[in-house]
Amino acid sequence: MIRVLENPFYYLDNFHQVLQWIGERYSDLLNDDENAFLQRFPALPQPSRALFVRMVMRKGELFRASKLSYPEIGCTVSAAAPLAAEGWLDEDPLVTLDELFELLQKPEIVAVFSLAGHERSARKAEQLEALRERHDGEHRFSAWCGEAAPDRAWRILSKPLCDRLRLIFFGNYHQDWSEFVLSDLGIYRYEKVEFSPSARGFRSRRDIDEYLALHACRERFADGEDPLAVLADMPPPSPDNEWLHSRRHKLQFQIGQQLEKLSNWPAAFSVYEQCGYPGARARAIRVLEKDERFGLAYEWLQRAQAAPESEAERQALLRMAPRLRRKLGHMREPAHKRTAVERLDLSLPMPAEAWWVEGVVRDHLWRDDVPCYYVENALANSLFGLLCWDAIFAAIPGAFFHPFHHAPADLHSADFQQRRAALFASCFAQLEDGRYRSTILANRALKDGLQSPFVYWDVLDDELLGHALDCIPAAHLRKWFERILQDVKANRSGFPDLIQFWPAERRYNMVEVKGPGDRLQDNQLRWIDYCAEHAMPVSVCYLQWAE
């Protein structure tokens, strides 16, 4: 691949790569405007295509010609003409006063509006407020400025179309055109997955349109619109797309949370009742409790306790059950007993220089023969990711459909493990016969620096990895990995902060650190309970500052 700095049109080549990719894989899903763009864009002169892509990749839709200066393009005014002829660019757009202020600098504003006295020296925001009283509506940029600001302004009209093409290529809106540059520069490197040419993120035009409609609702909700109005405009769910169902349920869950904040209990319950997002059922019970509908809340709680959706829900139900039983006058049930965990109480002087609680405890526990590391979620996830690399990056249908995946698209799906059951079983079998060590070391060397949803490359140095493989029994690794796979999204976090190693004894201990006034979080409690239940060494350290 030609390095970015050696090819001044690298961004244009990347854009063409996207268009070609979409044309080869999604032509049957494109609308007329999108198909027409794919056919007509390559026929434009290179400077025009380059200018168009430069504007697409910049923020906003309005640009001043004088600010678009690129040596490889040359005269941008000439390059813009074919774009205007295609209807993709407005060469003299209608501009509001607010937009004009975004385009002009303060001296230009003074000249355009002939400001004098206090208005001339006022801050730009104050000038805008004063001029709003005298100017309203939209005017052409040339009509606003005349000879006072001799420049051109352009509005790119095809940015929504290009955003749709970007969505079709990446399957999401959080990745953008910079992925190509970061990859070309070697800043981000991706595993090369040999997926089928037929692999694609969207299976129908309905999928694309539903994603766009959900995204629009999400943007409105983020901008503070009435949550019930947003909810009413959400598109009906597609019948067979679990991925879009998940996005829909997540937005519903967020709307339910907002309705809770507004104390609209009936509306919040109605949203949660129809929502399949993790945690929605527990929130529904909590809302019923807040609305003092204790009988119905207890019915929901009993159904949930019979078949909890996750460890997190089971934990929440155990917390709610005593309150509801008390409100309904039921007999008190025996309290849930947690497995005993070793407690370590420390009283240490507060460091004079910059410090962090986990670092203070780590340094206190460190001995030459008992090294102690701050790892939190990094170590267990990294070991899992390295052992199971081939399973995670297997070319499962629908999991990969472009070259810039840092994780499978279905990573958080309920059937992530099930779809790769045989592959994960093969990985775990290595924990039984000892091959896991060589696999982890080989993948660390071979895959070093590649994007991964599990591996923390900057944490996993030779010393830490060596101690981990020497001191953590394979049976314990298997228990960690099995729990991660049970619920990847929930169980990738919550691991204890520190890990101690006794290399001479080939053993270890995990330590969760809590400073003054701090308490264990729910996901930390779940991991600590799990480790204690399976006889994996873990302790909780409570630090107080010595007087």
Q: pLDDT-derived band of residue 368, with 50, 70 and 90 as boundaries?
A: very high
In whole angstroms, give the CA distance from residue 88 to residue 76.
Answer: 15
SS3 assignment, position 175: coil
Confidence (pLDDT) at 2: 45
* CB 514, CB 391: distance < 8 Å: no
Confidence (pLDDT) at 5: 59
Ranked by mean pLDDT, which of 137-141, 144-148, 326-330, 463-467 comes out on top?
463-467
Residue 339 scores a pLDDT above 80: no
Confidence (pLDDT) at 484: 97
In whole angstroms, give the CA distance from residue 92 to residue 154.
Answer: 6
Confidence (pLDDT) at 4: 52
List all residues 6 or more positions away from 96 whose beta carbon is below 8 Å from its beta carbon.
137, 138
In whole angstroms, give the CA distance from residue 377 to residue 453.
Answer: 12
Residue 382 scores a pLDDT above 60: yes
* CB 381, CB 481: distance < 8 Å: no
447-466: per-residue pLDDT in tens?
A: 999 999 999 999 999 999 99
For 10, other C-beta atoms within 10 Å of its C-beta total 19
**Range 345-366 average pLDDT:** 93
156-200: per-residue pLDDT in tens?
A: 999 999 999 999 999 999 999 989 888 877 889 999 998 888 888
Q: pLDDT-derived band of residue 336, with 50, 70 and 90 as boundaries?
A: low
In whole angstroms, give the CA distance from residue 220 to residue 489.
Answer: 26
Q: Which helix (H) or strand (E) holds 298?
A: helix 294-306
Q: Nearest 5°: CA angle at 140, between 135 and 143? A: 70
Is pTM beyond 0.75? Reply is: yes
Q: How far is CA 518 from CA 108, 318, 497, 515, in A?
A: 55, 22, 14, 5
Across the chain, mean pLDDT equals 93
**Range 386-414 average pLDDT:** 93
